[in-house]
Amino acid sequence: MATFKDDKGREWSIVLDAPLVKAIQAKHGVRLSNLRSNPVMELQFDTLTLVDVLYALCEKQAKASSITEVDFGESLLGSIEQAVSALEVAITDFCHPQLRSVLRSQLEKFQKAQSNVMKKALSEISEAEIEKSLTKRMKADLKKLLENTDSENSEDNNSVTSSMDST
């Protein structure tokens, strides 16, 4: 069984069954059973629909604890990644038993690759920001140097002119 904890420490279980998958498809247009389209990846690019789908999956538990859809959604801010991982596990568990081990292996590899891509992207962003900051600083230093050089040249020219005038 796939579980996750929200920001308030409440534990939620996600278990898929055919009627629930059909209801989510009808209400939200998301086909959780279509593994070719990678529904979780699609949901990660649409956070509002993701939260709606997660609530639909946990709605019975929420209502039993008098938790509103708004409260549920607000409590996912820091735990959305755990909820997505639980959804991925639930989808894998819903599949045909012969596919589960293959899907679990694929899911692990995908999560590892996704983590590496995110680390690389963050690294590149940091490097780009550092480069931009250094470039800005170097331009400012160069401008000061040129201004000082112009000022010194101007002073030198004035002294040469003054000494020529005195002769």
pLDDT in tens, 17-50: 999 999 999 999 999 988 777 888 889 899 999 9
Lowest mean pLDDT among 27-36, 66-75, 85-94, 120-129: 120-129
Mean pLDDT, residues 9-21 taken together: 96
- When pLDDT is cut at 50, 70 and 90, the band that residue 149 belongs to is confident
Two tokens, residue 37: 């389209």
Q: What is the mean pLDDT of the chain?
A: 84
Residue 118, beta-bridge partner list: none
Mean pLDDT, residues 153-159 taken together: 60
Mean pLDDT, residues 110-135 taken together: 73
Separation CA 55–CA 72 (nearest Å): 7
The phi and psi torsions of 12 (rounded to 5 degrees) equal -120, 140
pLDDT of 163 strictly over 60: no
Residue type, 70: V
Residue ranges in 65-96 assigned as alpha helix (H)? 69-74, 80-94
Helix axes 47-64, 80-94, angle to 10 degrees: 80
What's the confidence (pLDDT) of residue 55?
A: 98
pTM of this structure: 0.64
